């Protein structure tokens, strides 16, 4: 944890780290996830000296987790599908929806 962080942020860090470990992440990866999440929350709350635009304007980590918790895997994103379609040379890809890209690539 960064120096000067509050006890609340330290508890938050430990909780996130433990949760990531329970999901099967390595110790190193769990620490990274926890640190990034806590740093973003600190930036959103104005507790850090500097903050990126995405840290302050993007949807919060806790809200994003809540939105994704019941949605399932969802597969690849449209951008990922589009990139593969471009590499394969599929015509008309820019006007295709995600479902159409999946169909064209299958």
Q: What is the pTM of this model?
A: 0.52
In this prediction, residues 17-44 reach a mean pLDDT of 90
Q: 105: Cβ–Cβ under 8 A, 6 or more apart, which residues?
A: 81, 84, 85, 88, 90
Q: So where are the chain's domains?
A: 7-68, 73-106
Rounded to whole angstroms, the Cα distance separating 58 from 40 reads 10
The percentage of the chain sitting over the pLDDT mark of 70, rounded to a whole number, equals: 88
Q: 64: Cβ–Cβ under 8 A, 6 or more apart, which residues?
A: none
Q: Look at residue 64 in the predicted model and tell me its pLDDT.
A: 73
DSSP 3-59: TT--HHHHHHHHHHHHHHHHTT--HHHHHHHHHHHHHHHHHHTT-SS---HHHHHSP
């Amino acid at each position: 944890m960064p120096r000067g962080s509050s006890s609340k942020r330290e508890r938050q860090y430990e909780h996130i780290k433990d949760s990531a470990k329970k999901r099967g992440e390595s110790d190193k990866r769990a620490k990274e996830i926890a640190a990034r999440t806590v740093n973003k929350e600190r930036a959103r709350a104005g507790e850090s000296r500097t903050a990126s635009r995405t840290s302050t304007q993007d949807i919060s980590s806790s809200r994003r987790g809540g939105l994704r918790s019941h949605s399932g895997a969802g597969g690849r994103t449209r951008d990922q599908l589009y990139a593969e379609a471009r590499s394969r040379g599929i015509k008309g890809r820019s006007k295709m929806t995600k479902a159409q890209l999946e169909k064209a690539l299958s």
